Amino acid sequence: MISGSVTANSAVAVSTSTDVSGTLTTGGNTFSGGSSLTIQTGGTVTANASAFTVGDVTNSGTLTLTTGIWAVAGNWSDSGTISVGTSAITLSGTGKTVDAHFYDLTVTGSYTLAEALLVDHNLMVNASATLDTSSSSYAMTITGAFTDSGTFTGNTSSITLSGNLTVGSSATYSGSGTVLTLAGSSAQTIAVSDHDVGAIAISGIGEKDITQDFASSALSATVNGKIVFTAGILWTFSGTTIAGPTDSGLFRLVSSTPGSPWFLTVGMSVSATAVLVSDSDASQTITACDGISVDGGGNSNWDFSCAAVIPTGISTADMLIFGLLIFALVFLVLFGILASGAEGPIALIFAGIVGIFLALETWTLTAFLPLTIILAAIGVLILIFGIGEMLS
């Protein structure tokens, strides 16, 4: 047991176990901790840039990993304070448990979560390795990438991911019961080799690039972002609702190659809200008749029959300007007709100018050329009529 303060000046090898109730600083030297490393309440281990090899790790005190590289063959239990730095941990045990906070974590053995898992950078499940969130379905939060080359069992866990998700072609990803939250503010690539990722919830504004066939049971977004489907891939959807954001514009579902479709297979009646969709070939009709959704073109079996004709991205300020221009046009025309003397022609001239501005605003908001031309023509005619009245 280390009860005082110890700083290692060279490599340390312990044949049985290491129990720390005092302070251990490894000074960047390699450390072989034997069958277990136990940090008691009040104990402190500072690993610096050390390479650690140990069986079980139990931390009830303070563990500072800095840039250390750890090879752990047993359980990892953390109920104390841990500072992960930019360390790299490899778990190689069989039938072991883990609950902790890591920076980089690689699983090469078989592990079951005993608490929620927090990974500040990347999580990797290597070939022949297994990671199970347990029957308690502990949550996982991964700030970087999640790569599964072995077997991952997600049960009904919540998985929050800010980086890429990659599932190898020979891997097993059991995620049909999970909720996968894609939280990245930068682009995320999802390549899952035709696995089911469960319910997808999108909270990060970064583009989501889905490059391989996949399945999911739900899709919801709280941000005005987009999914880019690699042209030709298949999304198998077992849910009933594809839901965009309720208060921040539309969520876009588009092809990586405009004009080349991505495919969507649904097994029941599906409705979509607050989406802009293009180049989607659906297996049966999807109703996007919420008065908000937009047909971006190139779609098959999507019903936008009562969707909005005004595209996404229109702000409240734009709509206010549009409304004020309509009001001003109507008011000036009526005033010009009813007023006597020179005031009438002057009002009509201003009405013509407002009509031209209204046409320009219409083009800005809708890019709908026929309506823009009609409004511009009306404005010009009113302007000419007003000038004519002024000169007569």
Closest CA to 107 of 93, 125, 81: 125
Q: Could you read off the pLDDT of 38-92 as tens digits, one per residue?
A: 999 999 999 888 899 999 999 999 999 999 999 999 999 999 999 999 999 999 9
Q: Tell me how far CA of residue 287 lies from CA of 230, 234, 265, 304, in angstroms.
A: 23, 19, 14, 7
Q: Could you read off the pLDDT of 25-47 as tens digits, one per residue?
A: 988 889 887 789 999 999 999 98
pLDDT confidence of residue 316: 67
Long-range contacts of 83-88 (CB under 8 A, 24+ apart): 84/120, 86/121, 87/47
List helix spans (H) across the chain: 316-338, 343-366, 369-391
Burial degree of 277 (CB within 10 A; 0-12, 13-18, 19+): buried
Q: Could you read off the pLDDT of 272-293 as tens digits, one per residue?
A: 999 999 999 999 999 999 888 9
Burial degree of 208 (CB within 10 A; 0-12, 13-18, 19+): buried
Phi, psi of 156 (to 5 degrees): -115, 35
Is the Cβ–Cβ distance between 260 and 241 less than 8 Å?
no
Is the Cβ–Cβ distance between 268 and 247 less than 8 Å?
no
Is the Cβ–Cβ distance between 2 and 22 less than 8 Å?
yes
Is the Cβ–Cβ distance between 111 and 90 less than 8 Å?
no
Phi, psi of 390 (to 5 degrees): -65, -40
3-state secondary structure of 58: strand
Break the chain into its structural domains and give their ranges: 5-303, 316-391
CA angle 174, 73, 153 (to 5 degrees): 5
Grade residue 115 by pLDDT with cuts at 50, 70 and 90. Answer: very high
Tokens of 299: 């779609």
* Measured distance CA(41)–CA(380) in Å, rounded: 83
Q: What is the number of other CB atoms lying within 10 angstroms of the CB of residue 158?
A: 19
Q: What is the number of other CB atoms lying within 10 angstroms of the CB of residue 309?
A: 10
Non-local CB neighbours of 334 within 8 Å, separated by 6+ positions: none
Q: Could you read off the pLDDT of 125-147 as tens digits, one per residue?
A: 999 999 999 999 999 999 999 99
* Measured distance CA(174)–CA(197) in Å, rounded: 8
DSSP 231: T
Grade residue 309 by pLDDT with cuts at 50, 70 and 90. Answer: very low
Please count the CA atoms within 13 angstroms of the CA of 354 that sit on its side-chain side. Answer: 20
Q: Could you read off the pLDDT of 244-259 as tens digits, one per residue?
A: 998 768 999 999 999 9
Is the Cβ–Cβ distance between 293 and 274 less than 8 Å?
yes
Q: Could you read off the pLDDT of 218-230 as tens digits, one per residue?
A: 999 999 999 999 9
337-341: average pLDDT: 77
Terminal-residue alpha carbon distance, the chain: 109
